[in-house]
Structure 1
Amino acid sequence: MKIFLAGATGAVGRALIPQLTAGGHHVVGTTRSAAKASALWELGAEPVVLDGLDRAAVLAAVAAARPDAIVHQMTALTGLTDMRKFERAFALTNRLRTEGTDHLLEAARASGVERVVAQSFTGWPNARGGDPGVLRTEDDPLDPDPPAQLRTTLAAIRRLEERVTAAGGVALRYGGLYGPGTGLTRGGEQWEAVRARKFPVVGDGGGVWSFLHVADAAGATLAALERWTPGEVYNVCDDEPAAVREWLPALARTAGAPPPRHVPRWVGRLIGAHVVALMCEIRGSSNAKAKRQLDWAPAWPSWREGFAALDGEGERVATARR
């Protein structure tokens, strides 16, 4: 297939291009920066420089590429270590999930492209509360009343999934991404925040997070393209969602940092209700549907071994395993 990959220089895009080309697919990849075009050539993709929020440019690029499928990986995530400004950190990404998605779907219709795969997210969007040991499936409800700092982002996620699946596309709800190109790798902003002890355990740290290595996100995306079932939503995460009180100290040890600080729930509430939700209340996700229908399984089935491989040698081992 010829794949139009929007957001090709993002963490998942860079991991996805080699997997697509190894599978015999031709990739046309977009970037907002002309300076990154050469990197796409080196990865094996044909670069196109455009802004995903520029409707005319998107329609023209898709028409020129004449792809068999479109993959939406456009995000713009920065500043995720400042929990007070969560909504601000997602502002541009939310536009890409709404306006950018609309542009790609319009381009798909105009060019007769039936296969559209779009990046979504799982974890904190799940309805909160209940048994922390029960993993949420794609059929379970999303949070009906998210904290103020999460509302706009959850609304953008809902809209993306509704528009994509209504058009016969597929939405992949990735877990929290780690690995090369993300903030959660050696030298990344979240990694350094943990090293600086700026990422405390709040309250009982009972919020359950679902993680995903970027290479596994890429593998699931390839599987969704090749094992095509229109109109589906899949949770794509590892096999072992874990509470903050478990994974955060383990990450600190991996980063060579002192144990994270512990602060009471009321202190987290002073920062924002969303902090309490993320640290104490959210629930993990089940990847059973993706495994069953896409014949996919994570190469890193647990964040435990994945986190332990976040140094340079570990990443080389991770690459070799794939």
Structure 2
Amino acid sequence: MKIFIAGAGGAVGRYLVPQLLAAGHTVVGSATSGSSAQRVAALGAEPVVMDGLNAESVRTAVLSAQPDVVVHQMTALSSMSGMRNFDKVFHTTNRLRTEGTDHLLAAAREAGVRRFIAQSYTGWPNARTGGPVKTETDPLDPSPIASSRKGLAAIQYVERVVPAAEGMVGIVLRYGGFYGPGNALAPGGEMWEQVKAHKIPLIGDAGGVFSFVHTEDAAGAVLAAIERGDAGVYNIVDDEPAAVSVWLPELARIIGAKPPMRVPAWLARPLAGGFVVRMMTQGRGSSNAKARRELGWTPTHPTWREGFAELAPAGPGAG
């Protein structure tokens, strides 16, 4: 099949393009500039420069490609700093999840696309009540921090319109927290280096639960969704949701950093912001049972434990 990847040069694209080519598919990948188009070409895809927020640019790129499947991987994140102003950091990504999704769906419909796969996110959007691990049928947070309301609304928009798309199978993949080469959570990445420098503390009871996924496994989920699965939303996470009190000290150990300090929530709130404090103390993880069952997807990095250790230059304690 011919696959059009909107945002092919991102963290998932570096794994997705080779996986698709190895599976016998033809790939056209969009980029936002000539330099990023060169990176897409180096992966083996046919590059096309496209502005995801310009309807005519999207229409021209998709109709020219005439794909069987469209994959929406467009985001605009260069840094995870400044999370006190979450919606400001995610402003363009929120637009790509709303306006960009609309442009891609319209172009895909006109091109006769059979399957449409879009990315979403799981973790902080989950409701902070009930058990520590949520499924796709559990509600999202009814009262998000004010600074993240637009971000949650954008996620809800994608998850509403894509599965309901007429004339095609619309699948939304809710990725867990990314780690892997080229990400913030990898050697040289922003979060990895902050843990190494002893700058990320345990906040309060550090009871917030996170679900992670290696970017290679996120790409594998896209490949699975191209080949099977009904319209709907799927959590793409590893097999071990874990509290911050568990995974952050283990990451520090793997890196070879000092154990994280602990600070009370009241002290962290004015420094880190309410969004970060809530995520670190009240967050809920996610189950991958539906993706395993209906997409036939299995993570090659079953848990973050061996995944983090694999990233360390010479094994645990040597980072």
Q: Give the TM-score normalised by structure 2.
A: 0.94
Q: Which residue identity lines up with residue 101 of structure 1 in the other structure? A: T
How many residue pairs match? The answer is 311
- Is it true that 1:142 corresponds to 2:145 in the alignment? no
Contact 1:81 1:190 in 2 (8 A): no
Contact 2:211 2:286 in 1 (8 A): yes
Contact 1:202 1:276 in 2 (8 A): yes
Contact 2:13 2:219 in 1 (8 A): yes
What does residue 78 of structure 1 align with?
Answer: 78
- SS at structure 2 position matched to 1:173: strand
Q: Which residue identity lines up with residue 45 of structure 1 in the other structure? A: A
After TM superposition, list the pairs within 5 Å mapping 1:104-119 onto structure 2. 104-119=104-119
After TM superposition, list the pairs within 5 Å mapping 1:267-286 onto structure 2. 267-270=267-270, 271-286=272-287
Q: Which residue identity lines up with residue 53 of structure 1 in the other structure? A: L
Shift of 1:312: 5.0
What does residue 186 of structure 1 align with?
Answer: 187
Contact 2:84 2:274 in 1 (8 A): no
Determine the C-alpha separation between the residues in 1 that align with 2:193 and 2:162.
35
Bigger shift: residues 252-261 or 238-247: 252-261
What does residue 37 of structure 1 align with?
Answer: 37
Shift of 1:257: 1.8
Deviations 1:260-302 (A, max 9, x none): 2211011233243212210110111000000001111100010
- SS at structure 1 position matched to 2:213: strand
After TM superposition, list the pairs within 5 Å mapping 1:115-264 onto structure 2. 115-132=115-132, 135-167=133-165, 168-229=169-230, 231-264=231-264
Contact 2:52 2:74 in 1 (8 A): yes
Determine the C-alpha separation between the residues in 2 that align with 1:76 and 1:199.
24
List structure 1 segments (4+ residues) > 4 angstroms apart after TM superposition.
none
Q: Which residue identity lines up with residue 48 of structure 1 in the other structure? A: V
Determine the C-alpha separation between the residues in 2 that align with 1:196 and 1:85.
23
- SS at structure 2 position matched to 1:103: helix
- SS at structure 2 position matched to 1:138: coil
Q: Which residue identity lines up with residue 195 of structure 2 in the other structure? A: V
- Is it true that 1:55 corresponds to 2:55 in the alignment? yes
Determine the C-alpha separation between the residues in 2 that align with 1:114 and 1:313.
45
Deviations 1:118-153 (A, max 9, x none): 000111111003233xx2110010001111122111
Q: Which residue identity lines up with residue 190 of structure 1 in the other structure? A: M
- Aligned-residue RMSD, C-alpha: 1.4
Shift of 1:39: 2.3
Determine the C-alpha separation between the residues in 2 that align with 1:193 and 1:139.
35
Determine the C-alpha separation between the residues in 2 that align with 1:209 and 1:297.
19
Contact 1:18 1:44 in 2 (8 A): yes
Determine the C-alpha separation between the residues in 1 that align with 2:206 and 2:76.
28
Contact 2:292 2:298 in 1 (8 A): yes
- SS at structure 1 position matched to 2:70: strand
Contact 2:2 2:68 in 1 (8 A): yes
- SS at structure 1 position matched to 2:12: helix
Determine the C-alpha separation between the residues in 2 that align with 1:5 and 1:112.
16
Determine the C-alpha separation between the residues in 1 that align with 2:245 and 2:267.
16
Deviations 1:157-204 (A, max 9, x none): 000111111104100000001001211111011111212222211100
- SS at structure 1 position matched to 2:163: helix
Deviations 1:10-68 (A, max 9, x none): 00011100000000000000111201222222211000011211211110010000000
Q: Give the TM-score normalised by structure 1.
A: 0.93
- SS at structure 2 position matched to 1:192: helix
- SS at structure 2 position matched to 1:177: strand
Question: Gaps spanning 5+ residues in structure 1: where?
Answer: 315-322
Determine the C-alpha separation between the residues in 2 that align with 1:177 and 1:272.
22
Determine the C-alpha separation between the residues in 1 that align with 2:240 and 2:33.
37
Determine the C-alpha separation between the residues in 1 that align with 2:293 and 2:171.
15
Residue 232 to residue 313, structure 1, CA distance change in 2 (3 Å): farther
What does residue 302 of structure 2 align with?
Answer: 301
Determine the C-alpha separation between the residues in 2 that align with 1:102 and 1:198.
40
